């Protein structure tokens, strides 16, 4: 029952970690999905904003194109009126163009001759320090090409030249009259990356960027804080696994959802402690009952033998039989003394006195102590310590570990056949990243009866008629006192017992 309770406590932490991993995995999946949705939404919004801005720019260019077309038509109309009146314009072409463009802000234009080039130029809405009368040199080639194309085709021609910040629109239209090769032209600039549309576009993109960055920062902060709180809960729940204690009382995290889980785990820990105390009390009473019955049985047998021998000796009056009876009684008294001594070792709590222990020397002393008994049965004791580190020593209670090894060696020597070997080995191993000490005692005997294997380490369980059944129980008690375990290994034909102890106390 105690084993079941001890294994149940780490199980709670394992369940929490599994649930925790699922929560974090689910939370991460949700956050990734939210990120994807956020990025998709931001991309779609940016695309729509760019589309709207593009449409707005296209509208601006279209409106500018309509304006230069109407302004060019205005020049044609005014020139046509003069031609119909028979007044062929001469030096007043600049005034004609200025009058035609007076009501068209931002539009400049003039009259172009195929032979002489620019005949007139005007920009009545020019916002400079004075009237602008010189032809713009940067656009002169474009103006020349548009007028030449219009003259060649005999109709109005418009051209666009779009740069990063503006679109240049130039339109040329043939002028009627007796002077061949004359065309009127108009020109304006549409500032595509300027004005209210551009400002609104930049503002929308800025707001979108701030929203995305803010959401990313919020999600990162949320995930970091959540992960820290969960890590603290995991660390608190991992303490019982390392120390064999009850579930730790968890502090609240400040997150409402996690605090509900914390409260539930604290309540479950309280119920687990109560159940464990009740189970341990019941186990102690049950063990006490079994122990009392076994002790009574183990003591009654030698007492009955002593009584029988004494009665027979008294009945016969034979001195030889009396001496034999006394020797038998002394043997049974020794058996009772051994039983009482082992019971004291098993039941008396003894604090551990840990210290760095030279295992090579300890195993050699244990082997030497039982060498005479082994020699009488032609059994060799082998000591294997090559797998131990040269300088580092484990922290053990040397006296108690030696007692456990003595019990295992005595058990092996009783079961090993003559001419065989008993092996005592020690090695340092890593299990789950933690240094452990493996102490093994193996023999080549017939093995353990399968019927007693499940309860082999319980008191008074033995396969020998002359055994007390307390040796392995003492071994298990010493192993557990070191926060380790004693167990029987399935190693084929050999019988091997393992003491699995921590190399250093946690």
Judgement on whether residues 366 and 495 belong to the same structural domain of the protein? yes
Question: Is residue 387 situated within a structural domain?
Answer: yes
Interhelix angle 93-101/2-84, rounded to 10 degrees, is 140
Question: Is residue 282 situated within a structural domain?
Answer: no
Closest CA relative to residue 445, chosen from 475, 411, 474:
411
Judgement on whether residues 338 and 421 belong to the same structural domain of the protein? no
Judgement on whether residues 325 and 445 belong to the same structural domain of the protein? no
- CA dist 223 and 231 (Å) reads 12
Using CA atoms of 214, 217, 218, 224 in order, give the dihedral in degrees to the nearest 10: 180
Which pLDDT does position 172 carry in this prediction? 93
Question: Is residue 221 situated within a structural domain?
Answer: no
Parallel, antiparallel or unpaired: strands 494-502 and 485-491: antiparallel
Task: List residues bridging with 383 in a β-sheet.
Answer: 424
Judgement on whether residues 391 and 343 belong to the same structural domain of the protein? no
Ranked by mean pLDDT, the top range of 248-252, 319-323, 420-424, 446-450 is 420-424
Judgement on whether residues 452 and 315 belong to the same structural domain of the protein? no
Tokens 């068209």 belong to 104
Q: Are 201 and 219 in contact (CB under 8 A)?
A: no
Q: Where are the alpha helices (DSSP H) in 244-370?
A: 256-316, 319-347, 359-369
Tokens 């999600």 belong to 219
Q: Identify which has the larger pLDDT, 204 or 23.
A: 204
Q: Are 72 and 172 in contact (CB under 8 A)?
A: yes
Is pLDDT above 70 for 4? Answer: no
What is the mean pLDDT of the segment spanning 333-358? 71
Which pLDDT does position 276 carry in this prediction? 75
Judgement on whether residues 322 and 439 belong to the same structural domain of the protein? no
What is the mean pLDDT of the segment spanning 283-296? 64
- How many helices, marked H, and strands, marked E, lie in the chain? 10, 12
Question: Is residue 395 situated within a structural domain?
Answer: yes
pLDDT 10s digits, 14-53: 555 555 555 555 655 666 677 677 777 777 777 666 665 5
Does an H or E element contain 102, and which? Answer: none
Tokens of 181: 């090769």
Question: Is residue 42 situated within a structural domain?
Answer: no
Which pLDDT does position 2 carry in this prediction? 38
Which pLDDT does position 137 carry in this prediction? 87
**What is the chain's percent helix, strand, coil content, to nearest 5?**
60, 15, 25
Judgement on whether residues 404 and 495 belong to the same structural domain of the protein? yes
- CA dist 287 and 126 (Å) reads 111
pLDDT 10s digits, 411-461: 888 888 898 999 999 999 988 888 899 999 988 887 777 777 777 777 766
Judgement on whether residues 332 and 359 belong to the same structural domain of the protein? no
Which pLDDT does position 438 carry in this prediction? 92
Domain that holds residue 333: 298-347
Q: Are 247 and 11 in contact (CB under 8 A)?
A: no
Q: If you ran DSSP here, which 8-state letter would residue 135 be given? A: P
Judgement on whether residues 336 and 360 belong to the same structural domain of the protein? no
For all residues of the chain together, what is the average pLDDT?
Answer: 77
Judgement on whether residues 334 and 412 belong to the same structural domain of the protein? no
Cβ count near 430 (within 10 Å) = 9
Give the dihedral sign, CA 478/484/490/494.
Answer: negative
- CA dist 449 and 189 (Å) reads 105
Task: List residues bridging with 490 in a β-sheet.
Answer: 495
Say how many residues make up the chain: 506
What is the mean pLDDT of the segment spanning 156-170? 85
Question: Is residue 257 situated within a structural domain?
Answer: no
Is pLDDT above 70 for 375? Answer: yes
Judgement on whether residues 458 and 412 belong to the same structural domain of the protein? yes
Rg (CA), the chain: 52
Domain end (from 314, 347, 380): 347
Which pLDDT does position 462 carry in this prediction? 64
What is the mean pLDDT of the segment spanning 220-248? 66
- Full 3-state SS string of 226-243: HHHHHHHHHHHHHHHHHH
Cβ count near 8 (within 10 Å) = 14
pLDDT 10s digits, 180-194: 788 999 999 887 665
pLDDT bracket for residue 243 (50, 70, 90): very low
Judgement on whether residues 313 and 360 belong to the same structural domain of the protein? no
Share of the chain above pLDDT 90, in %: 14
Which range (108-122, 256-270, 409-423, 491-505) has the least confidence?
A: 256-270
Which pLDDT does position 468 carry in this prediction? 59
Q: Tell me how many domains the chain contains.
A: 2
């Amino acid at each position: 029952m105690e084993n079941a309770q001890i294994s149940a406590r780490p199980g709670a932490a394992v369940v929490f970690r599994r649930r925790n991993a699922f929560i974090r995995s689910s939370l991460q999946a949700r956050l990734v999905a939210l990120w994807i949705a956020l990025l998709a939404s931001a991309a779609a919004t940016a695309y729509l904003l760019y589309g709207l801005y593009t449409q707005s720019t296209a509208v601006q260019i279209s409106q500018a194109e309509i304006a230069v077309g109407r302004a060019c038509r205005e020049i044609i109309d005014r020139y046509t009126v003069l031609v119909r009146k028979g007044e062929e314009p001469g030096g007043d072409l600049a005034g004609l163009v200025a009058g035609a463009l007076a009501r068209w802000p931002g539009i400049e234009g003039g009259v172009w001759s195929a032979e002489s080039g620019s005949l007139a130029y005007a920009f009545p809405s020019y916002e400079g320090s004075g009237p602008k009368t010189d032809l713009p040199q940067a656009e002169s080639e474009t103006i020349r090409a548009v007028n030449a194309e219009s003259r060649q085709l005999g109709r109005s021609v418009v051209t666009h030249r779009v740069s990063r910040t503006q679109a240049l629109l130039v339109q040329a239209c043939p002028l009627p009259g007796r002077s061949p090769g004359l065309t009127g032209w108009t020109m304006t600039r549409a500032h595509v990356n300027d004005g209210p549309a551009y400002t609104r576009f930049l503002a929308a993109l800025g707001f979108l960027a701030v929203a995305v960055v803010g959401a990313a920062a919020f999600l990162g902060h949320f995930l970091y804080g959540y992960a820290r709180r969960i890590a603290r809960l995991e660390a608190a729940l991992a303490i019982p696994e390392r120390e064999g204690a009850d579930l730790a009382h968890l502090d609240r995290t400040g997150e409402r959802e996690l605090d509900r889980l914390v409260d539930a785990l604290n309540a479950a820990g309280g119920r687990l402690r109560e159940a464990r105390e009740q189970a341990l009390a019941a186990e102690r009473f049950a063990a006490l009952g079994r122990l009392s019955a076994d002790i009574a049985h183990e003591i009654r047998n030698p007492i009955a033998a002593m009584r029988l021998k004494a009665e027979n000796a008294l009945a016969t009056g034979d001195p030889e039989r009396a001496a034999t009876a006394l020797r038998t009684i002394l043997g049974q008294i020794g058996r009772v003394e051994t039983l009482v001594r082992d019971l004291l070792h098993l039941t008396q709590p003894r604090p551990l006195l840990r210290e760095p222990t030279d295992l090579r020397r300890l195993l050699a002393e244990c082997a030497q102590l039982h060498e005479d008994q082994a020699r009488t049965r032609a059994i060799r004791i082998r000591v294997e310590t090559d797998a131990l580190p040269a300088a580092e020593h484990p922290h053990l209670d040397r006296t108690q570990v030696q007692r456990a090894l003595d019990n295992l060696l005595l058990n092996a020597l009783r079961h090993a056949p003559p001419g065989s070997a008993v092996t005592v080995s020690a090695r340092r191993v890593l299990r789950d990243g933690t240094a452990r000490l493996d102490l093994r005692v193996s023999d080549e005997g017939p093995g353990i009866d399968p019927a007693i294997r499940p309860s082999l380490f319980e008191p008074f369980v033995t396969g020998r008629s002359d055994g007390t059944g307390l040796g392995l129980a003492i071994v298990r008690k010493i192993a557990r006192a070191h926060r380790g375990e004693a167990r029987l290994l399935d190693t084929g034909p050999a019988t091997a017992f393992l003491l699995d102890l921590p190399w250093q106390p946690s």
